[in-house]
Amino acid sequence: MNDFYDSLETRDPAEREQALIGQVAKQVAHAKATTNAYAEILRDVEASAIESAGDIAKLPVTRKSALLELQKVQPPFGGFNAVEGADLAYVFASPGPIYEPGSRRADFWRFARALHAAGFRAGDLIHNSFSYHLTPAGAMVDSGAHALGCAVIPAGVGQTELQVRTMGDLQPHGYVGTPSFLKILLEKADELAIELPRLSKGLVSGEALPPPLRDDFLARGIDLYQCYATADLGIIAYETRAREGLVIDEGIYLEIVRPGSGDPVPDGEVGEVVVTSLNPDYPLIRFATGDLSAIMAGQSPCGRSNRRIKGWMGRADQTAKVRGMFIHPSQIDQVVKRHPELQRGRLVVDWVEQSDSMCLQCESTQQSPELAGAVAESIRDICKVRGEVRFVAAGTLPNDGKVIDDIRKYD
C-alpha cells in the first residue's frame, strides 16, 4: 500500500517553500484580476514583487468577520468568488450567516489527501455522517471520496437507528464525521445487536478526539484519524500514522500570526492560523480562521516533509466550534433578542461524557418550562445544534463581556 497520496508530500522542504511562494504570488495576481474584493483589497500590491515569506506577511489579512460584513454589501460572496453562474455547483450557508461557493472543480476542498492518509483507498465504501443541510461538510467529504475512487453513503446527521440499520445492511469500510456521533452509532448498534465487522477506519473532525476515546474505538477495531478543515478553506491539515500533530495540506500556504495582527510568530509559539488558499475558484488570501495553533519542530516520522501544526488549540475570539458547527456571539444575541423575557444570555460550552455539551444561561424574571422549550428551539434554529437552557436570576451572570464561555477540558 502506498503511504503517500502523491509526490508533493515528500518534496524537499526548501523546494516546497519556494514553490508555494510562487503559487501565492500567482494567486494574488489571479485574485486581483478575477474578484471584485481583491481588486480593491490588493490594489496597491504588485504580485510580481512577492518573492519571500516576508513579502507574503506584508499582505493584508482578511478576517471571517470582515467577510460576513462584505457579503451584506455585495451578496452572496462579498466579491471573493472568481467563478459564478454555470461554473458554480453549490451555494452553502454556514452559521453567521456566511455564504460559501462550491465550484465544479474536482475535489474542490482537497479532502482526498486526508482520506488517503487515514487509510481510505479506491473501492472503499464510506459512511458520511457530516451534515448535508446548508453547510458544506457533507459535500466536502463526497468530493474527496469520489476523487479517491470511494463510494459514499450520504447519511448526514440524526436518525440514529436508521443510520445503524443502513450500516448493517451495507457494511461500510469506514466512517467520516464527528467522533461523538460515531460513539452514538456504535452504542445503538450494540443495542440493536447489529454487527459491523468491516468498519475498520475513520476520519473525524469538528471536535476533539482525546486519547481515551480514540482507544475505545481502537478496541472495537476502528482506527481513527483527525483532520482540521473549515467551510471556507477546505482541508488545512490532517493526521498521519505517526500520530504527531497534523501535517499541513499541500494546497494551501499557512502562517501562524499574533492574534489581532498579521505578524507571523516564531515556530512553536501559539498564534492564529492564517491561510492562503491556492484554489483559483475561491482565492482567499491570508484568511484569518480565528483558530489557534502552533508550528511543531522537525518533520513527521511518517515521511511527509511538510510542516506540522499542533492541531486546534482554541479560538482567538469567542466563537466556539460545537459538534462541528461554529457558534458565533452574534447568534447568541439573536437567540436572546428573539425572546423579550430574557435580559442577558451566556453560552457555556463544556466537554461532558466524551462529547460536546452547551447550555445557554439566561437572566430572566420569567422562568417556565414553556419559555425554556421555546429558547431551546431558537438555539436549534439559529445555531443548528441542540443546547440546554438554564435560567438564572437577573444580574447574576458575570460582568466580563463574555457571550460564549468555552470551558472544555480534555483528559
- Residue 134 belongs to domain with CATH number: 3.40.50.12780
* 137 & 93 share domain: no
Helices (H), 83-154: 111-117, 137-148
Q: Are residues 285 and 218 in the same domain?
A: no
Query: Of the segments 12-26, 265-279, 313-327, which one has the largest average pLDDT value?
Result: 12-26
- What pLDDT is recorded for position 314? 80
Domain membership of residue 208 (yes or no) is: yes
Tell me: pLDDT of 257 over 70.
yes
- Please state, as a whole number, how many other Cβ atoms lie within 10 Å of the Cβ of residue 89: 15
Looking at the fold, whether 115 and 80 belong to one and the same domain comes out as: no
Q: What is the CA radius of gyration of the chain?
A: 22
Mean pLDDT along residues 97-109:
96
What residue type is assigned to position 359 of the chain?
C
Task: Report whether pLDDT(361) > 60.
Answer: yes
* Per-residue pLDDT at 299: 94
How is the chain split among helix, strand and coil, in percent rounded to 5?
A: 30, 25, 45
Average pLDDT over residues 196-218: 95
Question: Which pLDDT value is given to residue 1?
Answer: 45
The three three-digit cell numbers of residue 203, written as one number: 476520519
Question: Does residue 332 belong to any structural domain of this protein?
Answer: yes
For range 360-364, the mean pLDDT: 96
pLDDT single digits (tens) 59-92:
999 988 788 899 999 999 999 999 999 999 999 9
Domain boundary among 182, 203, 231: 231
Q: Which of 259, 283, 312 is the last residue of a domain?
A: 312
* Domain, as residue range, for 402: 321-406
- In this prediction, residue 261 has a pLDDT band, given cuts at 50, 70 and 90, of confident
Residue 411's nearest CA partner among 167, 214, 254, 194 is: 214
In the sheet that 388-392 helps form, which strands lie side by side, from edge to edge?
388-392, 356-364, 342-351, 404-406
Q: Under a CB-based contact definition with an 8 Å cutoff, are residues 319 and 347 in contact? A: no
- What is the per-residue pLDDT across 320-358, written as a single tens digit (0 to 9) for each? 889 988 898 889 989 999 999 999 899 999 999 889 999
Q: State the total domains in the chain.
A: 3
